[in-house]
Amino acid sequence: MKMSSFTAKNVDKETDGGNISVSSIAKAYTDASMSNSFLDTKSGMKIDDMSKHMTALKNYQQEGQLLVAKQIVNNVLNKNCNIQDKFRFADLGCGIATDLEFWQNEFQTFSPTKSLELHGVDLMNEILKTAKKNLPEAMFWHKDLKDGLGFFESNSLDVIHCRRVLIHLPNAEDLIHEMIRVLSDGGYGILVEGELDTGTLHTEDDRLKKVENSIRLDKFVANPNPASKAYRILKVLEIEGQIKNVQIRQELISLILDQQSFDPCLKMTRGRLSKQMEAGVITEEDIEYFINKLEQAPRTGDPFTSGLMFVISFEKC
Ligand SMILES: C[S@@+](CC[C@H](N)C(=O)[O-])C[C@H]1O[C@@H](n2cnc3c(N)ncnc32)[C@H](O)[C@@H]1O
């Protein structure tokens, strides 16, 4: 296959019974529900030890989010949330509880006297075992968010947070409705999502760009641009009077100067490249060229990667 036609070939949306579109990465999460490893046979993304991978990403992921998150906590505590004697907080798609730990710390710093009820929800059981070790005082739920939040009563939470998960949900709108249902009046919803089309590989090297284009994740996720989609959905609900103060703010994804900081030996990247080679989109020589450049990148500065994330927040009326 010629390089110019790879985009169409890689598009990987499937039909799930009716009209709902699922992605291969969403399916890979479902397949990994009872294990610690992750394999997307379509994109070639493979992670042998998901807990270890998420632990390695911990500092890298938080670097760019602290400012916006702290502003929101400040708002939640001081102005906008009708909180009585304890906070009831849930993180959807909580992974190893990185964000729960962050929010717990922020809450306690701002308001040491209030007690906290923390909930984490995730599809991967083995990930939740690590989450429990990291934060034993929280309650964890092994659930598929595609099935909604039936395990939470209506009006039972003060804050619901969900980061980098809507991208994997074909029915994002349903989850947003569920978030609103379980929030108490005046409660806060916070979504943190990237827009995949803002991801940029900074280089003037056309061969690098072409190879990178072949492995972009847009083609394998359920919602490539979940932040703008969520914002549009929430603005409609705001007009309908169900929620208020819908805001979108921008935050930076940390620059990726050294891909190996979260992908040792570029193992995960190699797997994704191999899939594209099998599909005839790139050659073995392209892979060697790309890998070599990535290995040298911390020294040469060519390439590096940047992108945007957005924090979307709202209050229940
Ligand atoms: C990219 S990770 C983000 C983890 C964490 N929120 C963060 O930002 O570091 C996506 C998380 O969502 C979980 N997840 C994916 N699909 C899910 C689903 N349908 N239901 C529940 N959790 C899901 C995964 O197991 C994983 O822990």
110 falls in which pLDDT band (50, 70, 90)?
confident
Residues 6 or more apart in contact with residue 78 via CB below 8 angstroms:
110
Half-sphere exposure of 209 (CA within 13 A, CB side): 7
Quote the CA–CA distance of 110 and 89 in Å, as a whole number: 15
More confidently predicted of 147 and 80: 147
pLDDT at 166 over 70: yes
60 falls in which pLDDT band (50, 70, 90)?
low
Cα 280 to averaged position of ligand 1 atoms, centre (Å): 31
Can you give the pLDDT at residue 19? 41
Q: For ligand 1, is residue 120 a contact (CB within 6 Å)?
A: no
**For 13-201+220-257+307-316, CATH number?**
3.40.50.150
Q: How many CB atoms lie within 10 A of CB 7?
A: 14
Domain locations in the chain as residue ranges = 13-201+220-257+307-316
Q: How many CB atoms lie within 10 A of CB 68?
A: 19
Quote the CA–CA distance of 131 and 58 in Å, as a whole number: 13
- Whether a cis peptide bond, with omega within 30° of 0, leads into 170 is no
Q: Report the percent of the chain where pLDDT is more than 90.
A: 72
pLDDT at 109 over 60: yes
Structural tokens at position 87: 């906070």
Can you give the pLDDT at residue 6? 32
Structural tokens at position 50: 């998901």
User: Of 122, 146, 163, 193, which is best to mutate to test ligand 1, by the most ligand atoms within 8 angstroms of its C-beta?
Assistant: 122
